Structure 1
């Protein structure tokens, strides 16, 4: 199931995501912070960096249930975890009850909750009845939620991450069905299936739907979309009345977002290098893209950025870092503490 085969988990107040969502405002005087699922990018090393910088709950990338339950190679490739990777939500792309129940049986001992992807707008997934196709099939989606909750009850936490309909009341009706089916919390991405990410998230829609949900149930609601700073987070919570915020693209550039950093600190990059080397399993291009995104947030000078993107091997990448920057390793004094880029030579910003 994973590279390290953590022991099976039992939900406690420490790792129960529903308890965390409901109590974070009381225990930490702030809303719950969630690192959402990103295709390819929400792998174990990056998840651990987000946790270091105050992400309360972290998601895996979407895993296709159909492949996972049938193919051992897919299981090895798609899911790795360890004892410190908690609270963890495994997101699943699924279009039928049978595959979902098999998926939950296999994955739930190694995570703290399952999230059904009802928001992915990719056409190939929609054709398969996966992702945002599910918000137009409320009976199927509700039946999948009911099947899991009837079998596992509170032993398995179950979330649905949805997009909005053009008719907001259609989304409200869907959410009421999900609440009746037993969903533990709902994440609302404030865009429709066809809305581009360049279009601002619709906070009015999230507020409207959240108000309607809370009028009939105590199911928590999480807002998703356009959270790039703690100012954004507070604005979204105050306006929409949600229980917390999920960031996705904002964390890719700045995994320290939830700790109040306006740009990625150098310490986050050192941590990412450490976890990437300790856990392994990241292809070079994925490692490179993470570093590219973080450096963009830091404002690295263009010529160095171009050099970075032309590096073809991880060994060469490490050598390039050591030639240009003071890259501290785990155990060295000051590891993961620097904020600004520590150039070895004259400033390049």
Structure 2
């Protein structure tokens, strides 16, 4: 199976997408990693901004951030959130020397996103002109690829039309977490991956998918992954260009490992992660390490 950079993506996760975990994910088969979500307000804080830049610089230099099959460096994508196009563009421009791509969060379901008017609360049709402006501003601000991570629109059949609109505005990757925005019980039901396939079909029909002459946009599927078999099935059933995995990756950091022929035990996965924490101590605070170790032993599917 091919291994383009977007094939196996480690999702952005608040307080979980630390450098050591992202490096571990790459060593266990991921081809690209996303940072956690940062609002433009977050990055106005000098300590937060400097910590992010330091982690990106360390990741760029780390031999562990190279794809274990191709030897190429796995991209580090910074995820931003907000509703001010100019502020987002300025932030993207500041980060451009250190990042490999900029992702716009259009899926965060948390209450703070609702209160702050960002994330999944920008998916309504009345917000679409604003999204056009934001994505275009990001695409014009830097030479980096711009991606967007969305959820299903309130009226799910609107989702493919939104994806086409985002691609026309300048998005080069659309990741669909095929669930609706909900503050509670966010994963109570299976993701509706048929909409990932519909997004792919819509981009093809519009001539915007990268497989079409002159097209530029790719599709990632997010949701319904509990193991490698799900990754393979989702790629085949949705015709997505790649699969992004979030919380299940915390429990199964090896989920992409079969793509590189690796076999890991829970202890082996922990040891890899802890070795990277030791190598990058400033990026690995003890509470973060404890969180990761609490997740890993839950999984019973390790070989």
1:59 & 1:31 partners in 2: Cα distance? 11
- Stretches of structure 2 that go unaligned for 5 or more consecutive residues are 66-73, 210-216
After the TM superposition, which residues 182-261 of structure 1 pair with which residues of structure 2 at under 5 Å, given as runs? 182-194=170-182, 196-216=186-206, 217-218=208-209, 219-260=217-258
**Residue in structure 1 matching 2:12, options 28, 34, 37:** 37
Provide the residue aligned with 2:213 in structure 1.
none
Provide the residue aligned with 1:53 in structure 2.
28
Q: Deviations over 1:198-223 (max 9, x none)?
A: 21111122222322222211111000
1:45 & 1:30 partners in 2: Cα distance? 19
Structure (1/2) with the larger strand percentage: 2
Provide the residue aligned with 2:70 in structure 1.
none
Q: 266-275 or 168-177, which moves further after superposition?
A: 168-177
> What is the SS of the residue equivalent to 2:171?
coil
Q: Deviations over 1:244-264 (max 9, x none)?
A: 100111110111110137975
Higher CA-based Rg: 1
2:140 & 2:10 partners in 1: Cα distance? 28
Provide the residue aligned with 2:102 in structure 1.
114
Provide the residue aligned with 1:145 in structure 2.
135
Aligned pair 1:287/2:285, yes or no? no
Provide the residue aligned with 1:276 in structure 2.
277
In structure 2, relative to structure 1, the CA distance for the partners of 1:264 and 1:253 (3 Å cut) is farther
Provide the residue aligned with 2:151 in structure 1.
163
Provide the residue aligned with 2:45 in structure 1.
71
Normalised TM-score (structure 1):
0.73
1:226 positional shift? 2.0
Aligned residues: 273
Normalised TM-score (structure 2):
0.84
Q: Does structure 1 retain, via aligned residues, the 8 Å contact 2:120–2:150? A: yes
In structure 2, relative to structure 1, the CA distance for the partners of 1:31 and 1:142 (3 Å cut) is closer
Q: Does structure 2 retain, via aligned residues, the 8 Å contact 1:229–1:262? A: no
1:179 positional shift? 1.2
1:117 positional shift? 0.5
Q: Does structure 1 retain, via aligned residues, the 8 Å contact 2:93–2:141? A: no
1:196 positional shift? 2.2
Q: Does structure 1 retain, via aligned residues, the 8 Å contact 2:5–2:32? A: no
1:29 positional shift? 9.5
1:31 & 1:92 partners in 2: Cα distance? 18
In structure 2, relative to structure 1, the CA distance for the partners of 1:99 and 1:31 (3 Å cut) is closer
Q: Deviations over 1:136-170 (max 9, x none)?
A: 21111111111122343xx2110000001242332
1:48 positional shift? 0.5
